[in-house]
Amino acid sequence: MNMHSRPWFRVLRPGVVGALVLVALQPVAQALTVYTAGPAGLIKELAQGFEQQGGEKVEVFQADSGKVMARVESEAGNPRVDVLISASWDSALDLHQRGWLLNYRSPNAKTVPAAYQGPSYVAQGLSALALAWNPSSGTPRPSDWKDLAEPAFQGKVNMPDPSKSGTALELISGLQSQHGAQAWKLFGELRANGMHIAGANAQALNPVLQGAKAVVFGAVDYVTYAAQAKGEKVEIIFPRSGTVVAARPMMIFKRSAKVEQAKRFVDYVLSDEGQRIVAKSYLLPARSDVPALRPALGSFQAWPPESDAQRAGRAALLQRFDELFVRK
């Protein structure tokens, strides 16, 4: 990859004619490149911690899932990324199947549940999808997904755009896996009730915090917990019928020229210090032995992870959703 420097040589001519001294120069230090769809504050703190521990710089590209994956695809012929942290487990499965990823199991992944790691990817942390409700909205407190199709919520519901939010797409897939045709019946009812498809997760939540909308269908819980911590009046409600737990996979690209540094970065994120930083962002740590700063798994009804067969065809799933909501 052209972003990585290689040793080069310079010929020096001393005063004695014909005497040549070949001096090898050290490689120019360049940063480890990390692309992430996670919170900007989280990757900033992880990068700083990693740099302080090993002295290696980290160059970060942080954006929503759609933009991050579009950049990965656009650079397929000449990738710049060394480590990718995605918001969608599907992205790790896809890139692994395409042979782009390096097989690596971190020694710090021993307490990461088997469902949240694979041969070339491992969860950084976990989040769950919920209803983010403004109790000052004048609407009844919802308790399940289907409540938002009621007349009381006419025109008052936002949903993150699944083409930009990997977790929103996971929710659509999870609802279909759990409820089949009934899930699409619900989507149709939500559309008829005026549910608005907003941008990424923060863009869906902000109008609820401001009072312009009442509730987010499929809010990412850690974003809402962070808003609560800042004093926002918003309630996180885990639907009684269950919800999706979305793992955020980390992966190393096989064509990286900084493989050892990339491995050390993954090790750092899964270290005690790294997982405590993850917990500070209100994500569930990937490691089961690191405490969370919010309700942990087991405190709400979580659907089991989908099988590969259930995950198949998500591009068609997104297209069907787009057509339902008439989005071009």
Question: Which one has a higher pLDDT value, 84 or 26?
Answer: 84
* CB neighbour class for 146 (10 Å; exposed up to 12, middle 13-18, buried from 19): middle
Q: Is the pLDDT of residue 24 over 60?
A: no
127-244+309-324 shares the fold of 32-126+246-295: yes
Residue 234 and residue 228 in contact, taking contact as beta carbons nearer than 8 Å: yes
Class of the 127-244+309-324 domain?
alpha beta
Could you give the CA distance from residue 10 to residue 225 in angstroms, rounded to a whole number?
56
Q: Does 268 count as an annotated binding residue?
A: no
> DSSP readout, 192-219?
HTT-EE-SSHHHHHHHHHHTSSSEEEEE
pTM of the model: 0.82
Q: Across residues 87-92, what is the average pLDDT?
A: 89
Could you give the CA distance from residue 152 to residue 116 in angstroms, rounded to a whole number?
38
Q: Is the pLDDT of residue 25 over 50?
A: no
Ranking 69-83, 275-289, 304-318 by mean pLDDT, the lowest is 304-318
pLDDT, position 35: 98
The domain locations on the chain are: 32-126+246-295, 127-244+309-324
pLDDT, position 327: 57
Class of the 32-126+246-295 domain?
alpha beta
pLDDT tens figures, 245-276: 999 999 999 999 999 999 999 999 999 999 99
pLDDT, position 277: 98
pLDDT tens figures, 101-116: 999 999 999 999 999 9
Q: Is the pLDDT of residue 82 over 80?
A: yes
Q: Across residues 37-45, what is the average pLDDT?
A: 92
Could you give the CA distance from residue 186 to residue 5 in angstroms, rounded to a whole number?
54
Could you give the CA distance from residue 132 to residue 12 in angstroms, rounded to a whole number?
67
Residue 44 bridge partners (DSSP): none
